[in-house]
Amino acid sequence: MTARPAPAADIVVDGTGLLCVTLLLRLRAAIDGTGPGSVVHVIATDPAAPLDLPPWCHMTGHDYLGPVPDDDHRVFALQLAPGARHLYNSVRSGPCGCVLPGGCWGAGHDGVSAVRRGRAGRS
């Protein structure tokens, strides 16, 4: 099976230097008002980005397309879906300073692990 080339980007979100939820919040702000079917390339230096982006896409309803070959940056692609959910309309900061829906859930929270565990939105 041959890998398909990533579609060209309609939007590029530069998340260089951003960690955890900050990257997802920047992504959310960048795509606000962008139409379904748009392809977004996310430049990310956070080593957890390949773990964070697929579940974020799953929770919001967007399509995660995977890594994009790039010689200079770590780039990941997603495609915006019609009727996607907006998770960050009512956020509150948790004890660790994260801004997940409903805040965080305790000690050792890295800002995104609750999203990976499927607990986002619960208080």
pLDDT(54) > 70:
yes
Distance CA 25, CA 14 (A): 12
**Can you give the length of the chain in residues?**
123
pLDDT(107) > 80:
no
Domains along the chain with CATH numbers: 11-116 (3.30.110.40)
What average pLDDT is seen over the chain? 76
Query: Could you tell me the pTM of the whole model?
Result: 0.68
pLDDT at 21: 85
Residue 29, classed as helix, strand or coil, is helix
> Is residue 57 a contact partner of residue 83, using CB atoms and an 8 Å limit?
no
Q: Which residue has the higher pLDDT, 6 or 106?
A: 6
Q: Tell me the pLDDT tens digit for each residue of 70-88.
A: 889 999 999 999 988 765 4
Amino acid 82 reads P
